Amino acid sequence: MAQIKPFRSLLYNQEKVDLRKVIMPPYDIIKDGEVEMYYKKDPFNIIRVDKGCAGEDDGERCNKYTRASDLLGEWMLDGVLAMDDKECLYGYTQQYSLPGGGIKEMTGFFATVKLEEFEKKIILPHERTHSAAKKDRLELMRATHANTSPILSLYFDGDKKVHNLIKNAMKKKPFIDISGAGLLRSRLWKISDKAVIKNIGALFSKKQLFIADGHHRYETALNFRNEMRKKMGINDSPYENIMMCLISMEQSGISILPTHRVIKNFRKFDPQSQAVMEFFTVKKAASAAALKKAMLKKSAAKKIGAAFGGKYYILELKQREYGAVLPEGEHIKEYYLLPVSILHTLLFEKILGIPEEEILSGIEYTQDIDEALAAAKKIKNSAAFLVEPSTVGEVKAISLNGEVMPQKSTYFLPKIPTGLLINKMD
């Protein structure tokens, strides 16, 4: 099963930089309009490497990828970045805020993990990936021979054996402890005790890993590994492994948020029509606030919230009626019961007869219920559809059965900062 290894991370020298000013969120959640802000924070901000800007005169020999490579080399020569003095696992905690209020803390650890093809069912995906993002990440990895942003992966640890080993190793003072600059608090510990590392490795030799965030980066690493195998003629090199933040499904404190949909120029429909009520119990909500409260309330029923034209509805799924019309063979039952599948496959496609392409052409996504409801009210002829969060159990079922979830089915919190640790593979 999964093979994990300690590694010597490339680290920012905290005597030369303010760590809070040089790290950033994962590249794929930074909007284009935010890039300049990170550039201005510090000349050594990791964005110059991980999400560099293209120039007008860029070509094959000089472009944002070659600049990323040059910068890593310069920063290492200048002592801004330095290799750790020994191989470690790195214990990690991160406090984070929930959109609806409240603070949680995630616990995990960093390691490098041997790359495995998905068909081996050792490391499993749960969502689709897109070729454009993978091309960008591959060009960056070719230029830098590094991964600056960890892949977030889940593992099962119901007996707390890994959790207890990690927590015991984190009783000493952390070597990184930062707050502010968008972070509530992040801490890192070096776990270098060989016996502890060996015990953790032995436990993972019986585990599967489930990718939560970083599918593009993982598939990129597989492609890059294959390229390096051809060039080097060997199958035992640092390119065989990728940096991950590993978190327990049971003890980590991670959260999965729903991703709501705002659809422009949405076709008018009657939620209380016979076609809709065949598969849903439909209730009116008195206001946007009442709809939000209903969607946040936990219940056994699977539900969708709809807001358009100043009206608000809660649609509760009739599972027996839905189960009777599920197509056989195309997907497992759990796939069709995902919140996003109920919305897109049942409501949009089957009941309303709207092609997926039409929906996707005018769709916007947000994890914020208030933002979705405000957009539906502000944008003419638009509708907001609220969904419930997917669960860890659903992610597991989909992954184990070789399925992938529909687009924008999960949004994991917290997002692990880029630049805290860098895995320099050469």
When pLDDT is averaged across residues 333-342 and rounded to a whole number, the result is 93
Q: Average model confidence (pLDDT) for the chain?
A: 92
Q: What was the pLDDT predicted at 45?
A: 97
pLDDT of res. 187 = 97
**Over 90: is that where the pLDDT of 370 sits?**
yes
**Domain locations along the chain:** 4-255+413-424, 259-388
pLDDT tens digits, 173-225: 999 999 976 678 999 999 999 999 999 999 999 999 999 999 989 999 999 99
Compute the average pLDDT of residues 25-46: 92
Confidence band for 379, pLDDT divided at 50, 70 and 90: confident
Q: Does domain 4-255+413-424 have CATH number 3.20.20.30?
A: no
Which backbone phi and psi does 415 adopt, to 5 degrees?
Answer: -95, 125
Q: Which residues are CB-neighbours of 106 under 8 A, at least 6 positions away?
A: 93, 94, 96, 247, 252, 253, 254, 414
pLDDT score for 228 = 93
The pTM for the full model equals: 0.89
pLDDT of residue 129: 66
What span, in angstroms and rounded, lies between the C-alpha atoms of 138 and 54? 16
Contacts of 315 (CB under 8 A, 6+ apart): 271, 276, 280, 281, 282, 303, 304, 305, 306, 347
Q: Per-residue pLDDT tens for 64-87?
A: 999 999 999 999 999 999 999 999
Q: What is the pLDDT of residue 24?
A: 93
